[in-house]
Chains A and B, each alone.
Chain A
Amino acid sequence: MTQAPALHSEVEVTPWREYFSFSTDHKVIGIQYLVTSFVFYLIGGVLAELVRTELATPQSDFVPRETYNELFTMHATIMIFLWIIPSLTGGFGNFLVPLMIGARDMAFPKLNAIAFWLIPPTGLLLLLSFFVGPASAGWTSYPPLSLITNKAGEAIWIAGVILLGTSSIMAGLNFLVTILKMRIPSMSLNQMPLFCWAMMATSALQLIATPVLTGAMVLLGFDLLVGTAFFNPTGGGDPIVYQHMFWFYSHPAVYIMILPAFGLISEILPVHARKPIFGYQAIAYSSIAISFLGLIVWAHHMFTSGTPDWLRMFFMIATMVIAVPTGIKVFSWVATVWGGKLNLCSAMLFGMAFVSMFVIGGLSGVMVASVPFDIHVHDTYFVVAHLHYVLFGGSVFGIYAGLYHWFPKMTGRMLNEFWGKVHFVLTFVGFNLCFLPMHVLGLQGMNRRIAEYDPKFATLNMVCTIGSYILAVSTLPFLINAIWSWLGGPQASANPWRGLTLEWTTPSPPPVENFEVEPVLLIGPYDYGRPEALVMTSAANPSLMGKPNSKAETVQPLPSREAEDKEGG
């Protein structure tokens, strides 16, 4: 493959000290997010392995029961608030959004740095709570249980969630303003890469839903520390109000965790299938639709909380409606890959695995949305299986696909493909072995969040545990590959995958302030297969010559206003 002519005589490599500083460069912050959150992923993973080891046998024989409660509570908290949300929004969002829209940095670089630097100390604080007994009421922290277990740990948990929520709001604000206001002049919203659309929808959710969680945490904190009775039934309070406030955030949080991954996949599939994305506008607008619908379905988590029938009916239907925009995306991805010239590299393998695994998680989501079914499987392993197919098979596979795809751009080095494929096979097999049997366990009635279970579930639980060990091993080839390649892998060209979005037009890694010259949009972000896609040549006038999926004949200078008027007249 021909090397791209570098715009700079030599590529500037960010000194390693920069990554430990209060840098305001969005690329440095993006990598800070990714590395920090990956460290927390490993910690959360260790907690998960301890949980699975306890569940390998029906008896409670590995850790004390209270410790088991602490382990699954902290596992979920770390995975959600310190791994998936920061890596997808903070990590990929920071690194990619300004590059993709041709901006020099985010709208508010200092705010960006503050948002990141809230995360490591808060994560550390949560981990330190292990010394005083961490929160153990589940990541949902439902009162009154959360008011009577491990008070100090619970207080730290509340403070941690408020701080991480604040960081998330800051990031959301920054992304929304950046995407709406900092695009190069020639890029309209409908010419934006789909990841930016997804980030716009995600940011709106972060801004609207997170403050309500903060409110709930403040009230819960008052109940815990001051002795008020907002959610404490013994003092006249109502725990159901907490559940409403909590899920008003935490259901949209699911979309905060999956929409950016949808965006990543929409970027990766067309590049490695060498085909235009199918249904650009359908994918873009369905992100917005999911974002809106995501705000009005929260009570489907509360079908067994005494929710009145008419309300359950509304939330059931609203939840099922979300399958429509999500289905539009899935069909568009399949149509994109269909008949393409597939390059089955690690990024593409994870990308295609994302689509298939997410379909399983999405379909079981429609099942649990149905009230009569949900009443039976609520709080069973069916729900655990469903949520891991969405958050691991979806979000984590998406993150891995993104890491393989953009690693060359981030570090200027190529990852080793062989070890990438080993990583993929181990992850795919381990994941399915671990979580597929949980569907059956749930349908047979095995409760979640309990260390002991009926011996008749023993065989399938052993399979799950073995799967989880394979998953643990699967991170090793990735880790070693990433560190090894970063230090001494083969140099990456500016555009190793021959992508058409703007981040591939600048050297790998991109210089400070990204572009030496303001990029000029000459072709839509997914116009693969057209001769014009092979070469971008100069244009004095920064205008876009072509739209997403536009046909070849539209690639000509934009007609002048007078010419248009004449045609119209």
Chain B
Amino acid sequence: MQGSSVNPSQGELNYSATATPAADHHSEHPDLRLFGFIVFLVSESMLFLGLFVAYFAFRVVTPLWPPAGTPELELILPGINTIILLSSSFVIHRADTAIKEKGDVKAARGWFLVTMAMGATFLVGQVYEYQHLGFGLTTNLFASTFLCADGFPWSSCICGAPVDVRCVMAISPTRSLFPNQSFWH
């Protein structure tokens, strides 16, 4: 071991104090919030996955699905709604690109607001749809699982809304929209 000596009579560790002071090294550790957020998203998606798998499990084990007497689901409005929601993913990506590649705060804020408007349209559509479903949470197994598997993910969007509003205010060329974008997807 170059530059060091071994003294067997002294059976203790002796870490040198000549190394870089801790303050220099530690105070600026990279921002880990983004990585932490991605880990959180993985975990959160397991909740949704669990609910979806439960829906499919019920579907497999129930002889008649949906059970007799369940009103038919309307498909046109939810279809449009889904298209709006899915396309909003591209819009928020544009917001992120605007800030990342051009540093254009104005455009980013604009695209971000468009995304939120599309999200809001989706939510309004959902509320309208739920009011006209013809079944409630306790009608039958199909109704319960449908509403839970469908309702949880979009209610998490509502929880995210205040954070999104806060982010629009805070958009700056140095801030990445990546966390918002990943949550949105």
Q: List residues of A whose CB falls within 8 A of some B CB.
A: 1-5, 7, 103-104, 107-108, 169, 172-174, 176-177, 180-182, 207-212, 214-216, 218-219, 222, 226-230, 235-238, 240-241, 244-245, 248, 493-495, 498, 500, 504-505, 513, 515-520, 522, 531-532, 534-540, 542, 545, 555-557
In the bound assembly, the distance between CA atoms of A235 and B145 in angstroms comes to 13
Specify the chain B residue showing the minimal Cβ separation from A227.
B138
In the bound assembly, the distance between CA atoms of A539 and B6 in angstroms comes to 13
Q: Is the CB of A535 within 8 A of B137?
A: no
Which of B14, B40, B46, B145 makes the CB contact (< 8 A) with A535? B14
B174 CB → nearest A CB, Å: 20
Leading 8 A-B pairs by shortest Cβ distance: A538-B16, A537-B4, A215-B50, A211-B47, A212-B50, A211-B46, A228-B144, A4-B12
Q: Is the CB of A1 within 8 A of B39?
A: no
Residues of chain A with a CB closer than 8 A to B10's CB: 2, 534-535
Known: A3-B12, A215-B51, A518-B26. A532 touches B6 (CB 8 A): yes
**CB-defined A-B contacts under 8 Å, sample of 29:** A3-B12, A104-B26, A173-B36, A173-B43, A177-B36, A181-B30, A181-B35, A207-B43, A210-B43, A211-B43, A212-B47, A218-B152, A222-B144, A230-B58, A235-B140, A235-B141, A238-B58, A495-B12, A505-B15, A513-B22, A517-B17, A517-B19, A518-B20, A518-B25, A535-B11, A536-B15, A537-B14, A556-B2, A557-B1
Residues of chain B with a CB closer than 8 A to A536's CB: 13-16
In the bound assembly, the distance between CA atoms of A121 and B128 in angstroms comes to 39
In the bound assembly, the distance between CA atoms of A310 and B5 in angstroms comes to 64
Q: Is the CB of A538 within 8 A of B4?
A: yes
Q: Is the CB of A519 within 8 A of B6?
A: no
Known: A222-B137, A230-B145. A245 touches B50 (CB 8 A): yes
In the bound assembly, the distance between CA atoms of A103 and B30 in angstroms comes to 13
In the bound assembly, the distance between CA atoms of A3 and B12 in angstroms comes to 7
Which of B40, B67, B145 makes the CB contact (< 8 A) with A173? B40
Q: Is the CB of B137 within 8 A of A226?
A: yes
Q: Is the CB of A236 within 8 A of B15?
A: no
Which of B2, B4, B39 makes the CB contact (< 8 A) with A207? B39
Known: A228-B137, A534-B7, A538-B18. A214 touches B12 (CB 8 A): no
Which of A176, A495, A518 makes the CB contact (< 8 A) with B39? A176
Residues of chain A with a CB closer than 8 A to B5's CB: 535, 537
B30 CB → nearest A CB, Å: 7
B5 CB → nearest A CB, Å: 6
Q: Is the CB of B140 within 8 A of A236?
A: yes
In the bound assembly, the distance between CA atoms of A489 and B120 in angstroms comes to 63
Which of B16, B57, B138 makes the CB contact (< 8 A) with A228? B138
Q: Is the CB of B51 within 8 A of A557?
A: no
Residues of chain A with a CB closer than 8 A to B61's CB: 238, 240-241
In the bound assembly, the distance between CA atoms of A516 and B15 in angstroms comes to 11
Please give 9 more A-B residue pairs, beta carbons under 8 A apart, in addition to A215-B51, A534-B7, A537-B4. Answer: A208-B42, A219-B51, A226-B138, A229-B141, A518-B21, A520-B19, A539-B19, A542-B20, A555-B1
Q: Is the CB of A241 within 8 A of B54?
A: yes
Which of B1, B47, B144 makes the CB contact (< 8 A) with A545? B1
Say whether B32 faces chain A, with CB atoms less than 8 Å apart: yes
Q: Is the CB of B1 within 8 A of A498?
A: no
Residues of chain A with a CB closer than 8 A to B57's CB: 238, 241, 244
Q: Is the CB of B15 within 8 A of A517?
A: yes
With most chain A CB atoms within 10 A of its CB, the pick from B20, B32, B44 is B32
Which of B3, B12, B35 makes the CB contact (< 8 A) with A540? B3
In the bound assembly, the distance between CA atoms of A182 and B26 in angstroms comes to 9
In the bound assembly, the distance between CA atoms of A523 and B22 in angstroms comes to 20
